[in-house]
Amino acid sequence: MAVKKFAVACYDDEAVLFPAVEKVRRSGYKLHDVYTPFPVHGLDVALGEKETDLHVAGFCYGITGTATALGFMSWIFTKDWSINYGGKPFFSLPAFIPITFELTVMFAAVGMVLTYCYLNQIMPGVKKHVFHPRQSDDLFVIVMEITDPATEGEIVDFLKSTGSIETNVQVAEEGWWYGWWHKDEPYQKQLA
Amino acid sequence: MHLKYESFVREPLINGNKTYAQVTEDICRPIEQKPTKLWYLGFIFSLMLLGFGAFSVFWEVYWGIGTWGINRTVGWGWDITNFVWWVGIGHAGTLISAILLLFRQGWRTGVNRAAEAMTIFAVMCAGQFPIFHMGRVWNAFYVLPLPNSRGALWPNFNSALLWDVFAISTYFTVSLLFWYSGLVPDFATIRDRAKTKLRKQLYGLASFGWTGTAKNWQRFESLSLVLAGLSTPLVLSVHTIVSFDFATSVIPGWHATIFPPYFVAGAVFSGFAMVQTLLILVRKIYRLEDYITIGHIEAMNKVIVLTGSIVGVAYLTELFMAWYSQVIYEQQAFKWRVLGPYWWSYWAMMTCNVVSPQFFWFKKLRRNIVFTFLLSIVVNIGMWFERFVIIVTSLYRDYLPSSWTYYSPTWTEIGFYIGTFGLFFTCFFLFAKYFPVVAIAEIKFTLKTSGDNYKREMQHLDEKSIEEFIHAAEHAH
């Protein structure tokens, strides 16, 4: 985690954003990230992002739930404390199915959401730099990292040429940190 | 990029020439304004109902379950009736958010947020009834499979009642996670445009630090899809298991294999009616008619007439099976159900659930807001009677004529029911004031496919040949 310098370009239409993303990828400058107010289909492909494996994790959690429920109930009714309920067999598999199913779903859902929060680095109290207040409203924002101060002007000019409606340079923390959203951080105060 | 074209047979889902910014503005406006007098009035009234409910529950816990009208013959009365009724209402929310997502029904985006909120609040209300019906509520944790000091005693995993504990708690948890994972980006939207410090602080906390990078959204979509895939069998399993509470017993009137599908259809039926009741008010008060259109209301009315008819078929099948089974106990139970001392509840159910939704075969009535609103209330009254009929009219005359009885609730039972209305509407008023009642990000996602302005722009594509159409659609941007 470090405070770095970024060039920020805002677009107001996906139709302009996609060609811009393509140009950015071909330009050779270091792309930090693209922020959008809603899921733009195909943007992950355009950026060359791999498909997420989140659903695989979900499957693993689900299987864990199935095994936990089945194993636990079988152990209790056949080993730990067998009780004769109306002459039913101790190991009455059909009667275990409903709880097994529920726990499969419960484990899969809870596990996936926690993994999702971990991967996306989101949690109550987490704070990240917002490059443009309208990036969650109606603007699509491409953020480039300025690795070499000499190229700053070059990158800004390049971004302007891709059809952005607003371009600027910002100093910002690249990762996340704990903080209150109504308070400015030291590096933000310096900027102001 | 996906093809932003949708047939003109489908009416626009978003009216009023909206832009992305306008969508944000329209949905965030009620949150950023001071609450109206009407809101305070409704909220305080709900709190009063909740207070009365809390007092009724206190009375029952203090003096014992004998303060209720239930007795040895009718062991389940209003409590379980209300439990099943509330759980059923919840089902529409999950159907809209999960099943309609898998079926790619675009109209769900306008209503899913409020419907899911309704699900969560309804399940909260439902959960109260079995818990306080236990009587010694401080022992409620006995249902949990905890290692304990009473010897190695475990709950009976073969019991449908225990399945219910797992089903309802899973249902509540998964619905809450699904709902909140969709809310996080919308809270970020409110946070980023917040003008006051407190709002920035609280929505900042609620938004979990969401910024909306491309990778975030990719995972968001993956999560939504899998949660929808999990919720779909889950919602069917929940009311199936609720119906097992009855169907796995050997009580005439309960012991029927038809129960699971019959209960699920009834649940969706009553749930959609409740969604109509709530959303017709919300769209009017918050002026969201552009997002929750007549088309949305009509689509939901179609679901109501379908599920209402399924429920009607189930009622008739029950009567037929009682006759066809040649079991005299079944036959007598249904004879008394239709013509016995509780005949009024059976016919109230039949009228409200089977006859009244048939009006929705007429397009004019499906698109009439006042009529829809009134009918949605009629349907919910009918569905309450359905549960009352199933529970009480199967129990009040058992195998031993000397135990036959007539059950009526006491004020504590009625107060408890009223109290859950208080809980439901207190939560719903808070939701409507502080949460985005329409999913902002999802609406923006569908805007260019089903917004009226964008559909008009696409109209010229319809006249083109297939090759021209593909070419034009690909280069539309």
Residue ranges per domain, chain B? 20-450
Q: What are phi and psi of A128, to 5 degrees?
A: -135, 160
CB contact under 8 A, A109 and B220: no
Under the banding of pLDDT at 50, 70 and 90, the label for residue B445 is: confident
Q: CB of A110 within 8 Å of any CB in chain B?
A: yes
Q: In terms of domains, do A111 and A72 share one?
A: yes
Q: How many domains does chain A have?
A: 2
Residues in A closer than 8 angstroms to B219, CB to CB, are 52, 54, 116, 119-120
* Nearest-neighbour CA in chain B from A4: distance (Å): 18
B375: exposed, middle or buried (Cβ count in 10 Å: 0-12, 13-18, 19+)? buried
Domain boundary (A89, A120, A151) is at A120
Alpha carbon distance B391, B389 (integer Å)? 6
Domain boundary (A86, A101, A120) is at A120
Give residue-wise pLDDT tens across range B224-247.
999 999 999 999 999 999 999 999
CA quadruple B406, B60, B380, B386: dihedral positive or negative?
negative
**Residue B142: per-residue pLDDT:** 86
Residues in B closer than 8 angstroms to A127, CB to CB, are 204, 209
CB contact under 8 A, A112 and B226: yes
Residues in B closer than 8 angstroms to A106, CB to CB, are 166, 169-170, 173-174
Who among B191, B244, B477 is closest to A14 (CB)? B477
In terms of residue numbers, what domain contains A107? 54-120
- Identify the CA nearest to A8 among candidates A121, A116, A128, A160: A160
Torsion of Cα atoms, B352 then B354 then B358 then B360, to 10°: 60
Q: In terms of domains, do A130 and A46 share one?
A: yes
Alpha carbon distance A69, A83 (integer Å)? 18
Q: How many CB pairs under 8 A join A and B?
A: 214
Tokens 């905890």: give the residue.
Answer: B146
**Residue B94: per-residue pLDDT:** 87
Cβ proximity of B309 and B357 under 8 Å: yes
Residue of A nearest to B219 (CA): A52
The counts of H helices and E strands in chain A are: 6, 6
Q: In terms of domains, do A67 and A113 share one?
A: yes
Q: In terms of domains, do A59 and A113 share one?
A: yes
Cβ proximity of B322 and B333 under 8 Å: yes
Q: In terms of domains, do A98 and A132 share one?
A: no
Q: In terms of domains, do A132 and A40 share one?
A: yes
Helix, strand or coil, per DSSP, at residue B193: coil
Show Cβ contacts of residue A15 under 8 Å, excluding neighbours closer than 6 positions: B476, B477
Mean pLDDT of B397-407: 91
Query: What is the model's pTM?
Result: 0.92
Residue type, B292: I
Cβ proximity of B297 and B276 under 8 Å: yes
Whether pLDDT at B145 is above 90:
no
Q: In terms of domains, do A22 and A69 share one?
A: no
**Residue B382: per-residue pLDDT:** 94
Residues in B closer than 8 angstroms to A117, CB to CB, are 208
**Residue A83: per-residue pLDDT:** 85
Residues in A closer than 8 angstroms to B185, CB to CB, are 37-38, 136
- CA angle, corner B88, sides to B82 and B93, nearest 5? 135
Return the CATH number at A182.
3.30.70
- CA angle, corner B270, sides to B132 and B172, nearest 5? 50
Q: What is the radius of gyration, based on Cα positions, of chain A?
A: 25
Give residue-wise pLDDT tens across range A99-117.
999 999 999 999 999 999 9
**Residue B476: per-residue pLDDT:** 56
CB contact under 8 A, A124 and B205: yes
Q: In terms of domains, do A100 and A141 share one?
A: no
Span of A147-156, B70-79, B271-280, B328-337 with lowest mean pLDDT: A147-156
CATH topology of domain B20-450: Formate dehydrogenase/DMSO reductase fold (1.20.1630)
Domain boundary (A93, A120, A147) is at A120
Structure tokens at B333: 């139970």
- Identify the CA nearest to B216 among candidates A38, A186, A183: A38
Q: What integer best gives the mean pLDDT of chain B?
A: 90
CB contact under 8 A, B205 and A181: yes
Specify the DSSP class assigned to residue B67: G
Q: CB of A165 within 8 Å of any CB in chain B?
A: no
